[in-house]
Amino acid sequence: EAGVAQSPRYKIIEKRQSVAFWCNPISGHATLYWYQQILGQGPKLLIQFQNNGVVDDSQLPKDRFSAERLKGVDSTLKIQPAKLEDSAVYLCASRLLAGVDGNIQYFGAGTRLSVL
Amino acid sequence: QKEVEQNSGPLSVPEGAIASLNCTYSDRGSQSFFWYRQYSGKSPELIMSIYSNGDKEDGRFTAQLNKASQYVSLLIRDSQPSDSATYLCAVPRGGYNKLIFGAGTRLAVHP
């Protein structure tokens, strides 16, 4: 079974530029999450999708961050314009929902963003 | 009070010893708990889940849950240098189970 795919793995941009990250979850996983992990901290949820609908974006800085999940599969997360404090690893995770292991979230390799 | 708290470490143990990692949580209604391992520069990887009070063993790993004390721990027996990583405690929250993570405990196993 293929895991959660993310791209790019690394991105370096200057502040005020825009950037986009892509995620392809495990096939059949209805729930998709974007987390931000700042160095030395645990991941923090930015946005959560159930199929193609947003169920939690309470921690998403909506003035600069946006995300979509078209057709309930792939998702993109965009930052425009980026700030220095956005430097972090952006992790995508997915969850099946059903079955004994339905609560388990599987993480992609992440995108490491450096804002200069 | 943070929702999930962990000692940031580093926790240094000699090879072959037992490493004990601790986590406390604030929501008394929490029902499930997860331990993720994260190697430097890598993504979190689930190593243990626990739902009931008591112990759950999987190989060298044992998770312990005490809901009355709002405390969950992870024991690693016969620690190996390859166990050196950050261990994240996570608790689901909300109807769609977003994970609330602790800051993680860095474990260093030295030969």
pLDDT digits (tens, 9 = 90+) for A12-65: 999 999 999 999 999 988 899 999 999 989 999 999 999 889 999 999 999 999
Please tell me if residue B19 touches chain A, with a CB cutoff of 8 Å.
Answer: no
Tell me the pLDDT band of A99, cut-offs 50, 70 and 90. low
Half-sphere exposure of B6 (CA within 13 A, CB side): 30
What residues in A contact B34, CB-CB < 8 Å? 104
Position A69: which residue type? R
Q: Give percent above pLDDT 70 in chain B.
A: 100
Q: Give B42-82 pLDDT, tens digit per residue.
A: 999 999 999 989 999 999 999 999 999 999 999 999 999 99
Whose CA is closest to B24, among B75, B68, B60, B86?
Answer: B68
Q: Give percent above pLDDT 90 in chain A.
A: 80
Parallel/antiparallel/unpaired status of strands B11-14 and B105-110 = parallel
Q: Residue B107: exposed, middle, or buried by beta-carbon count in 10 A (0-12, 13-18, 19+)?
A: buried
What residues in A contact B100, CB-CB < 8 Å? 45
Q: B98–A110: do the CB atoms touch at under 8 Å?
A: no
What residues in B contact A92, CB-CB < 8 Å? none
Q: Is the pLDDT of residue B96 over 80?
A: no
- Give the C-alpha separation, A105 to A48, whole Å: 12
- Give the C-alpha separation, A47 to A32, whole Å: 8
Least confident of A80-84, B2-6, B11-15: B2-6
Q: Is the pLDDT of residue A100 over 90?
A: no
Residue B38 near residue B105 (C-beta atoms within 8 A)? no
